[in-house]
Amino acid sequence: MAKKFAPQQFLNRELGQLEFNHRVLAQAEDAAIPLLERLKYLCIVSSNLDEFFEIRVAGLKEQIKLGGIVTGADGMTAKQTLKLVREQAHQLIERQYQLFNADIIPALAQQGIQFLRRPDWNEAQRAWVKDFFFREVMPVLTPIGLDPAHPFPRVINKSLNFAVGLQGKDAFGRNSARAIVQAPRVVPRTILMPSEISGCEYGFVFLSSILHAHVGELFSGMEVLGCFQFRVTRNSNLFVDEEEVKNLRLSLQGELPQRHFGDAVRLEIADNCSPQIAELLLKESNLAPEDLYRVHGPVNLVRLMRIPDMVARDNLKFPAFTPGVPGVLQKKGADMFKVIRKNDVLLHHPFQSFKPVIDFIQQAASDPDVVAIKQTVYRTGADSALMEALIAASQYGKEVTVVVELMARFDEEANINWATRLEDVGAHVVYGVVGHKTHAKMLMVVRREDGKLRRYVHLGTGNYHPSTARLYTDFGLFTCNEKMCADVNEVFSQLTSLGKARELNHLWQSPFSMHVEVLRSILNETRLAKSGKRAHIIAKMNALLEPETINALYEASDAGVKVDLIVRGVCALRPGVAKLSENIRVRSVVGRFLEHSRIFYFRNNLNHDVYLSSADWMDRNFFRRIEVCFPVLEKKLKKRVIDEGLKIYLQDNCQAWDMDSEGHYRQKNPRQSTRNCAQAELLKQFTHAPAKATP
């Protein structure tokens, strides 16, 4: 049995997430990256921080409010963690805005892409802005004066708002000194001004600047003393007791609108906001001064994510590419079933196209020999060719079963809509198992061949989402291996029916066997090392947090097992500690694509076991989710996963960051050696340029 280690041997999850965002921000700072992509990275940091505050910081505040002294594996209480989070988040955001103002904006201006500031507008620009305000903005504004009849309004989560200071009396003789104006959500936050008026190729005006310039029009006869943009971030956890509700979908539909009005967790204001207004906003939001973030620029940088799509400058973006397609599938109209019967097929996204997955479902939907299709849906997007194919299959009379995860955070509404459409055409729609999110990525097709039924499956590490398949690195496997298919069928039976879990042939499954099998595999390498044999573990994932797994890795290291961990995000394990983790190396790779695949390699006395999964090594994935971990059985495909998913990333010296024992990261420096960039090499190996817009 693994011995227990002191809390000092574990790193803090929340601080680890902030460390990850420092690595993302470093991409925005890198002058070697195309300029508009640097702007995107800057926006991604803001998007990540939004979710971080909505979920992680909100959770810390809930723990503190409940009064319990609960500590994590690292031994820190919620109050201690929140204090450090506030300090480090302030530093990160300050650095982010310094980069935006001092580097990104001037660099964009040199390329003819300007954000036109209010003090610099000429007469023609002011006239254009005035016309836009009266035509597009003012008709949809509802200013709210603060007085006894108009209390402080409920400010929607992450919406752009303005606090206005006023002087004078209105038409009714009221003498209110404050008003709140919420920016209309139907108006974009950055507006492209015609080039003949802006004087540059791409001249953008912030909606906040337009409102500032004409806010006086909303308060006729009164003097505007100040107008300050602000934004409130709220707790976005959904509180649905799955065991108490009779209809999860109906309960979620009732709960979703309340997400916009959860408890406030952060207040962002313009840096010129007066102390009096800031104090009012903090009081109305029930926040402490430490929750206040003053920023020099737009309070919501996420909205600038649209800019690269509005600017037709390919030289300022990553080169376009066309994802490759395996040779066996390159023939137009290739029979997917015939190909899979011959050999398993491995796809490595985004370097290889996601289109074969769409083709597989579409062929299954229209094939008269296909009798049934079953699929899990976690995130698939509001517009999905796969879901349309499932709807068509049901309309063609096939037995279609879809396990829709309604609790997929921030995708609940899209999933509810798909569930409704599927039910409307007669598909069987189920919502998994109470208390366990269905996170496994599985697709099974049952086809009648030569008088018998044959099953085909697709298993993946990522979502059935064509858009993210161009942005995330993931693996997908097609197989008709009978034992593997039987395992997938068994998991689907658990999700749709009732009964005891049976032992599976090849798959590891959470919450039943995956944790046990991971520990067993680590222990096996430990035993091999103790017997004098070479032992090696390589694991690639998004996060490593589960304490017992970390303890097992420490023991493996102490026994002499070489452990290479490629953890994109949060890692609670401390590498390189004497007599604890001397044989463990942890690195994170942050590049053009989001590293999303989970790969587990165990040398196992030259058996070279390779598993792919949708699961990270976290408590939730092991114990509170339905997950599967599947082996790659064919030798050629196994070698591909090792080479493309692991070895090349261990050799990366451009986008890799090595972690020290304190949880800090240092980027590899290739200047003294040959450049090895994993993602660039994979693009070169599989793709073609220039690209067409293919999935």
Per DSSP, the three-state class of 492 is helix
Note the pLDDT tens digit of each residue in 367-399: 999 999 999 987 777 678 888 999 999 998 899
What mean pLDDT comes out for the span 459-465? Answer: 93
pLDDT at 669 over 50: yes
Note the pLDDT tens digit of each residue in 9-65: 999 999 999 999 999 999 999 999 999 999 999 999 999 999 999 989 999 998 898
For 178, phi then psi, to 5°, come to: -140, 150
The confidence score (pLDDT) of residue 601 equals: 98
Structure tokens, 567: 């953890």
Confidence class for position 123, pLDDT limits 50, 70, 90: very high
The confidence score (pLDDT) of residue 32 equals: 93
H-run or E-run covering 340:
helix 336-342
Task: Give dist(CA 191, CA 311) in Å, integer.
Answer: 12
Q: Global pTM?
A: 0.91
Per DSSP, the three-state class of 14 is helix
What mean pLDDT comes out for the span 84-97? Answer: 97
pLDDT at 255 over 60: no
Per DSSP, the three-state class of 586 is strand
Residue 22 is among the residues annotated as catalytic for this protein: no
The confidence score (pLDDT) of residue 143 equals: 86
Task: Give dist(CA 166, CA 282) in Å, integer.
Answer: 19
The confidence score (pLDDT) of residue 265 equals: 95
What are the structural domains, with CATH classification, of the chain?
A: 7-316 (3.30.1840.10), 327-504 (3.30.870.10), 509-686 (3.30.870.10)
The confidence score (pLDDT) of residue 574 equals: 97
Start-to-end Cα distance in the chain: 48
Q: What percentage of the chain reaches a pLDDT higher than 70?
A: 90
Mean pLDDT of the chain: 89
The confidence score (pLDDT) of residue 418 equals: 74
Q: What's the burial of 19, exposed, middle or buried (CB within 10 Å: 0-12/13-18/19+)?
A: buried
Q: Which one of the listed residues 439, 458, 515, 596 is annotated catalytic?
A: 439
What mean pLDDT comes out for the span 474-484? Answer: 98
Note the pLDDT tens digit of each residue in 556-594: 999 999 999 999 999 999 999 999 999 999 999 999 999
Instruction: Please name every residue paired with 377 in a beta bridge, in sequence order, or none if there are none.
Output: 404
The confidence score (pLDDT) of residue 219 equals: 86
Confidence class for position 153, pLDDT limits 50, 70, 90: confident
- Residue 385 contacts residue 359 (beta carbons within 8 Å): no
The confidence score (pLDDT) of residue 261 equals: 57
